Amino acid sequence: AQSVTQLDSQVPVFEEAPVELRCNYSSSVSVYLFWYVQYPNQGLQLLLKYLSGSTLVKGINGFEAEFNKSQTSFHLRKPSVHISDTAEYFCAVKGNFGNEKLTFGTGTRLTIIP
Amino acid sequence: EPEVTQTPSHQVTQMGQEVILRCVPISNHLYFYWYRQILGQKVEFLVSFYNNEISEKSEIFDDQFSVERPDGSNFTLKIRSTKLEDSAMYFCAVGAEVNQPQHFGDGTRLSIL
């Protein structure tokens, strides 16, 4: 079984400032890792994924994340945020074998301050 | 084009009534999932479906819930006798391969009165 911890429930950031949203996971098996974004009144959109290979993965809208196996982390970063990045961000994990379900964190609400 | 379309977008139902939520994926997906998100809480797994049978279900997915692909295209979630605590956003997700991401629909907001 897997679990995901997103310690920051809310993160306010000034426009054009950098941001990091933290995600730590726990698993007894190797995993795939994902970040999803949920804009107000919308569904979940895949932001980026780590399946294998390079530990630094780039996603849509200028976001990137780094997989750190020793620290069991997958933090999301963006060097300069925009008003349109205001949304809820969910980190998710699944085992890398079989038809595994996604296990989500509790989400981080990113608010961009003009 | 979205990977999956969900209908209806909002469903209001009296407690004790049956509801059916529908999901229409594009054709090349093999793996199907339902998740739910109670207001203000995290997204929770309900059930996964592959090769016309349930692969895994959570403890939330009790005897009141069922899933099927009646015509090989639509993927439905039925709640037989709804309870107030079933009020949530229900998301359908699809995947083409086990090692690929799941793609989510926009969800159905279910409100039980």
**Cβ B44–A104 below 8 Å, yes or no?**
yes
Q: Which domains does chain A have, with CATH numbers?
A: 2-113 (2.60.40.10)
Dihedrals φ, ψ of A17, to 5°? -85, 160
CA distance B107 to chain A (A): 6
DSSP state of A53: S
* pLDDT band at B1; cut points 50, 70, 90: low
DSSP string, B34-70: EEEE-TTS-EEEEEEEETTEEEEE-TT--TTEEEE-T
More confidently predicted of B101 and B8: B8
Domain region containing B86: 4-112
pLDDT digits (tens, 9 = 90+) for A86-107: 999 999 999 887 668 899 999 9
Reply yes or no on whether the pLDDT at A37 is more than 80. yes
* Interface with B, mutate which of A37, A102, A106 (most B CBs under 10 A): A102
Domains of chain B: total: 1
CA end-to-end span of chain A, whole Å? 41
Asked if B99 has any chain A CB less than 8 Å from its own CB, the reply is: yes
CATH value at residue B63: 2.60.40.10
| Mean pLDDT within A16-38 | 94
Task: Map tokens 């009144």 to a residue.
Answer: A41
- Could you tell me which chain B residue has the CA closest to the CA of A98? B98
Pairwise CA distance, residues A43 & B29, whole Å: 19
CA distance A103 to chain B (A): 7
Helix (H, G, I), strand (E, B) or coil at A64: strand
pLDDT digits (tens, 9 = 90+) for B47-66: 999 888 999 999 999 999 99
More confidently predicted of A72 and A30: A72
CA distance A79 to chain B (A): 25
Give B-chain residues touching A97 at CB under 8 angstroms: 98
Asked if B61 has any chain A CB less than 8 Å from its own CB, the reply is: no
DSSP state of A102: P
* Amino acid letter, residue A58: K
